[in-house]
């Protein structure tokens, strides 16, 4: 006898989820796809990218991180901009900056060359390093901030022990999973782990920043996924 065809609604409801095992996904989620995008509970053909202009003939005005399947570290590249200085970071190396007088990207001054961070962002007049590694020790819930920056210059210090500077660091002991990313929102800097969301705000006092958990029901799936 012919096989019955049964309708199933909501197949495009959750889109593509790479992180869970395919065996853990519900029927309304997909483990992968090609040339497809999900929007408004619908699956549709994705745009087809075409070469528009030869970049060798112009000065590029935007850079995007390239993540090949093999050959280099595939962790996300993050970038940020503050006071006419551009910063770029990847978790396998120390952050670098490019200022008005620069001719190439250079390592951050005052940043120990044995340190690295998963994400580098800005908040107010500070650079914020998230999920920090010092030597071989990684503190996945650490928030580390620079000294105050001046226009056209990178911060001069990251030394949290120097009482003459505003640089500091804090470990969010109650955070249950590693920090994934952060983003400024109004007067706060919002810190995302995979399971929680925290707010960082300026105190206007000697302690400089205060931290509080604002959500415990969800977080961020990967860096560069919040605006």
Q: Which residues contact 225 (CB under 8 A, 6 or more apart)?
A: 180, 181
Helix and strand counts by DSSP (H, E) for the chain: 0, 14
Where are the strands (E) in 68-164, listed by range? 77-82, 85-90, 96-98, 106-107, 115-123, 126-134, 137-145
Q: Which residue has the tokens 């869970």?
A: 20
- pLDDT tens figures, 169-211: 999 999 989 999 999 998 899 999 999 999 999 887 777 899 9
CA dist., res. 156 & res. 62, Å (int):
26
Q: Say if residue 63's pLDDT is above 70.
A: no
User: Which residue would you say has higher pLDDT here, 74 or 224?
Assistant: 224
CA dist., res. 144 & res. 56, Å (int):
38
Q: Give whole-number Cα distances, 17 to 150, 178, 227, in Å.
A: 42, 19, 20
- Asked if 16 and 38 touch (Cβ cutoff 8 Å), the reply is yes
Decide: residue 88, CB within 10 A, 0-12 exposed, 13-18 middle, 19+ buried.
middle
- Would you tell me how many other CB atoms lie within 10 Å of the CB of residue 36? 14
123 is written with which tokens?
């908040």
- Asked if 183 and 189 touch (Cβ cutoff 8 Å), the reply is yes
> What integer best gives the mean pLDDT of the chain?
87
Q: Which of these, 115, 182, 124, 126, lies nearest to 155 by C-alpha position?
A: 126
Backbone phi and psi for residue 57, each to the nearest 5 degrees, phi listed first: -95, -5
- Provide mean pLDDT across the span 128-142: 95
- pLDDT tens figures, 3-40: 677 777 788 888 888 888 888 888 888 888 888 888 88
Give pTM, 2 decimals.
Answer: 0.70
């Amino acid at each position: 006898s012919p096989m019955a065809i049964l309708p199933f609604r909501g197949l495009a409801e959750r889109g593509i989820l790479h992180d869970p095992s395919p065996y853990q996904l519900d029927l309304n989620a997909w483990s992968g796809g090609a040339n497809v995008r999900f929007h408004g509970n619908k699956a549709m053909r994705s745009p087809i990218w075409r070469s528009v202009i030869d970049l060798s003939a112009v000065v590029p005005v935007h850079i995007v991180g390239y993540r090949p399947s093999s050959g280099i570290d595939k962790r996300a590249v993050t970038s940020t901009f503050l006071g006419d200085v551009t910063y770029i970071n990847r978790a396998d190396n120390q952050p670098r900056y490019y200022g008005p007088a620069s001719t190439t990207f250079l390592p951050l001054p005052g940043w120990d060359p044995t340190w690295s961070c998963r994400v580098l962002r800005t908040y107010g007049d500070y650079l914020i390093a998230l999920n920090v590694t010092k030597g071989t020790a990684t503190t996945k819930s650490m928030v580390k901030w620079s000294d105050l920056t001046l226009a056209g210059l990178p911060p001069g210090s990251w030394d949290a022990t120097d009482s003459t500077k505003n640089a500091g660091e804090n470990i969010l002991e109650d955070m249950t999973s590693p920090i994934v990313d952060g983003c400024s929102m109004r007067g706060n800097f919002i810190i995302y782990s995979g399971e929680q969301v925290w707010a960082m705000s300026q105190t206007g006092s000697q302690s400089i920043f205060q931290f509080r958990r604002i959500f415990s029901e969800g977080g961020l799936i990967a860096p560069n996924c919040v605006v």
